Structure 1
Amino acid sequence: MKIFNIKKIGQFSLLLAIAFSFHSVFAQENDIPKDLQSLAQELGCQTKEDCAAAFDSNFEKGLDLAEKYKVYDKEQSEIAKSYKQEVISKLSNITDENFEEEIIKIAKGILSKPKAAKSLQLDKGAVTAAETIVKEVKNAGTNIGVCSRKADTLSREELIDCLEASKQLAKKGDIVEKYIPKGIIEKSEMAGIAALLDEALVRGEYPELGKTAEEAGQKCLRPGSETLKSCDVIAEKYFGPEGVRELAAVRAQTKQIGDNYLKGLENMELATPDGRKIVGKTAIKESCEKAFQTKDIKLAKACGEFAVKNGFADRGEVEESLKFFESVADKNVNFDQCRINPEACQKFIPEQYKKEFEGHKKIYEIIKEQAGFDPMQCER
């Protein structure tokens, strides 16, 4: 996400748009349009950003190429030619420090000539918005060039400066909203809050909440997090009274979901083949474990259906497990022994899984050799 999009801001790139710069030529495309690729090739650029930069570094060449490739319509071309030398002279004397301000001065000059302004679709609102944006960005200690870059390419200090500018611009939405949508400003404000919170966490201001906003969020929403006073402090400091209320509401919702889940587990019911009803997670778990230990195929199938019905396993897994279970039910297999000595049950492994078993066996042997002891001993 970019904090600002220089191709849209106040259209002061677009005001020289068509008449005096290449910025507008590429402003509406992610890539260079096909009909302008020859122009871009001659200018020596491969992306819209490169072309805008190439124009800025050589205004006169850019304008000549714009005329050569008929970027303008007839009326715009006539106006461009009439102001070309004047604009080139002004642009050539612009320094990096005053680039945006001088562009706005040129825009105001064009605005004073109604025919030129109309042809270039330039109005007072666009110039006022551009001037407001440039002023607030400068007041925040940064510039349009920095804030036009992607947020993830900015340093923390640059990001905070640009977000401070967006915060101030949000107060002047009636002037700039046409050029910087309200949603973009709101996203920027939230990103700014997250950046400031991350800074505080990294500095160790809230050690019990970890080092990132994600860690802090997880801890502040866990059951019992009311005892972590820092959570409420952060909610108040960074999000205001509404943040405190929202935190309380989310905590209550999380607790309710947890309570409902636990209540649901305790109310679960398994109907056995002999007509009994086993209620509660623990009782069901014990009964199903016993079914496999005693090789009770009917109860094992009921447990499998229960697992599928309640989302604990998919049907394919259950059917494979039951198929294997049935194949060994009439054999003398000690599954506890298989757990600590898989080779004891090797002959019961279905054919399609034997290669996989052999592969795991080889891996196990390598691990045992490298570790210097048998990990299976830990199972005993």
Structure 2
Amino acid sequence: MLTVSQRATVLPASPIRRLVPYANAAKARGTKVYHLNIGQPDIATPECALQAVRENRVQVVSYTDSAGNLSYREGLVEYYKKLGIGLEPRDIIVTQGGSEAILFAFLGCMDPGDEVLIPEPFYANYNGFAQEAGIKVVPIPSSIENDFALPPVEEFERRITPRTRAIMICNPNNPTGYLYSQGEIEQLGAIASRYDLYILADEVYREFCYDGHKHFSVMQLRGLEDRTILMDSVSKRYSLCGVRVGAFICRNRELVAAVLKYAQARLCPGTYSQMAAEAALKAPESYFKQVYDEYVARRNFMVNALNAMPGVYSPMPKGAFYTQVRLPLHDADAFALWLLEEFEYQGQTVMIAPASGFYATPGLGKDEARLAYVLKIEDLRAAMETLAVALKRYTGR
């Protein structure tokens, strides 16, 4: 009898996307669904990126370099130079989205059975990538009580075993919106140095740091060049989610050479995708200023609206465009499904991402959900009004 592989069987479903069939069914019934579940910006893509694809002169769409086009990697060197991060093109492997960069990092740094320490809650797909690589995620719980700040150093140290190979963070954090300070990053660097570990950082939300807070990259840690890995993406920065272009970045020549073999096995990143991503590097500062101001306004509106609802608590995110909220109920998964299957208010409902999928520790996050403030304020206003009514009507508290 044919069976599905055990690997595929245990691979977790995405808490961000697994309710999509129910959202589609609600739409088919004529219900408008406000998508607060996914980080899909409605901000316009920079015109220079769209124009580069529209007006290209390519006659043959051929394979590109497995590491990515040299001109794009040279452009990325200049981009990071402005951030105080010194790189060479050979330190960069262009990937098919930030997702592939994460998978490459896991495959390059760890063998099956090895362990990576990650503060939770964390981006849900880390679990899936770890399963694919055959490694174990060891969660370090953080708490909404202190707005998901970095857990104490002792919590990391007591979970280190002979199989521990790396520490990983997302900064600014998805799903919480927490921004790790320079001091917190340096604490992680000290642990990595003391226990001979890699330190992996998903920094795709770097441009979205609010209220005067500044981003500090792991690539700025001194003396740790051989053990720091940056995973990046153009998806959120330039509203280019669909081009699927990211980057694996490391100054460790041996590790980059090893990861390049994975890049060669999948041949190359896309021609037109890199064309758009390279052109996006020319986006004017005015573009980022407009985007920044828009997200600050959306954040302030949504967080204030949430905290005005009885029993709801949302920290004020310092970065990214998400907040992880505590809801006055016992099972956010059941509530999220109810919103799509049974509830509507004035012909509309909301789709949220239950937080249990962002934890690796069973039982955590059952009363929490991640909400993305990626909709214009007019839509956020309608979504918050709808959510408030839903919480009042829901009987499964």
- Larger relative helix fraction: 1
Q: What TM-score, normalized to structure 2?
A: 0.21
**Larger of the two Rg values belongs to structure:** 1
